[in-house]
Each structure stands twice: as structure tokens, then as C-alpha cells.
Amino acid sequence: MNTAEVRQWLRAARTIVLLSGAGMSAESGVPTFRDAQAGLWADFRPEDLATEQGFRADPRLVWDWYQSRREGVARVQPNAGHLAVAAFQQRHPGRLLVVTQNVDGLHQRAGSPGVLALHGNLAQDKWLEPPRRCCDPARLQEGRPPCCPACGNQRRPAVVWFGEMLPEAELAAAEAAAGACDLMLVVGTSGVVYPAAGLARATRGRVVVINPEPSALDDAADAVLRGTSALLLPDLLEE
């Protein structure tokens, strides 16, 4: 399968969904989940940090881990892949929808409108417990994590942790779009985490996987392009 043929499919597709994973941001310098195992937090398993149980056991540790990820993401820029997607959307309003598993906000910073962030957003916080009348995000007691000065309710990252449900409205919108689209680009995901990975299996449209390595969704693909997102997407999505 060559890129020229996929480019033809893209031209013919009225509606396109791009499902992205950590590999989409790799060339911006954001480590993928696999690569993160080698970094500063290599002594900790994401499963221990990215859970409500982990947060309750050691809120400061988990808060600090997310702060370090926030700082890391703030230092990087959207790459040529993110920018090519946003430019395509500007040229073809309403034709391509981004559904992402990434919490780094890079699609949004590149200018993609209406991104469905299935796993939440690193830049945002929310309450750990259902907010009481005293809980006001504009009046927080500083801390790691910050909390409500009256009742002590803690702020936590607004990301989906292991064992938690995905945001209902985003998932429903993603399922509807995936089911109905003519073409799905599956970019930079290992394809092992559901329900996101299931979107690629539920579509009636063609599926194109973009990944330099084998992924668990290769068997669902009509075409597999072995390459990186920052190299392939500009080539595929330009006029």
C-alpha cells in the first residue's frame, strides 16, 4: 500500500475521523507511555500513579507527577503532524474530526476545532469529591494538591484514570462519528486501550493505520503506513 492510494481515499472521503494516541506527540518531544518507562518516573508504574486509589494513597506524589507532565507539555510545541491536521480542517470545515487519547492539548494548540479528548486534558483540574457549596475553584488553598479552604476537598487532574469511565458525551460523539465516517486515520496508538481502540473496529469506513511499529489495530486496517505522523500526515493531507 502506498501513500498515493491513501491520498486518493482521503480526497474521496466526505467525512474523516483521525484517532490519535501518544505517538502523535512523540515528535513534539512528549514521551509515549512506553518511552515514559525510561524517564524520571521510571521507578513508578503509571498504573499506580494514574488511579484514584494511587491519588488517595499519596496525593502529593501523584499531584507532583502530573505537575511534571504539565511542565513538560508546556515546553513543547505541536509538530508538523498536528499542524497538517489543523490546516486540513481549516481548508475543509466540518470534514475531519479529531478524536484523541492524548491529554497534552497539542491538537487544540495546533488549531484543531472541536477535538474530542477521550482521556481528558492535563491542563485542567476537577474536584476529587463531589463539590459542596463551599467548593469554589476560584478560591483555593494553595498546596500539592490545592484544596477547598473550608472543607478540604482536593483538586485532581481532569484526566481519565485507570478504572474510570470516559467522559460520556465525548465518547458518544466519537462513536457516532466513527461509525458514520468514510475513512479513519489511526495515528500513533498501540491500539490496546479500550474503548478508544474499539472505534477503529466499529467504523464502516476504510481504516488507515499510521505507525512506525506494528500495532494491535493493524489487523483492522485497509492500509498500514509504516512511518511517523510528523512525516506522513503533511504528505497525505496537503492538496
125, β-bridge pairs: 157
Residue 23 contacts ligand OAD per CB under 6 A: yes
Name the nearest CA neighbour of 41 among 72, 15, 19.
Answer: 72
Half-sphere exposure of 26 (CA within 13 A, CB side): 21
Residue 170 contacts ligand OAD per CB under 6 A: no
* Inter-residue contact 62 to 54 (CB < 8 Å): yes
Name the nearest CA neighbour of 114 among 97, 91, 95.
Answer: 97
Nearer Cβ to ligand OAD, position 50 or 84? 50
Q: Which of 136, 213, 219, 238 is the binder for ligand OAD (CB under 6 A)? A: 213
The residue nearest ligand OAD at its CB is 23
Known catalytic residue: 119? yes
Residue spans of beta strands (DSSP E) within 58-215: 96-100, 116-117, 120-127, 155-159, 183-187, 206-210
How distant, in Å, are the alpha carbons of 79, 98, 188 from that of 95? 21, 10, 21
Residue 160 contacts ligand OAD per CB under 6 A: yes
Residue 225 contacts ligand OAD per CB under 6 A: no
Question: Among the candidate windows 23-31, 85-93, 128-136, 200-208, which touches ligand OAD by CB under 6 A?
Answer: 23-31
Nearer Cβ to ligand OAD, position 89 or 101? 101
Residue 101 contacts ligand OAD per CB under 6 A: yes
Binding residues (CB under 6 A) for ligand OAD: these are 21-23, 26-27, 32-34, 50, 101, 119, 160, 187-190, 193, 210-213, 215, 228-229
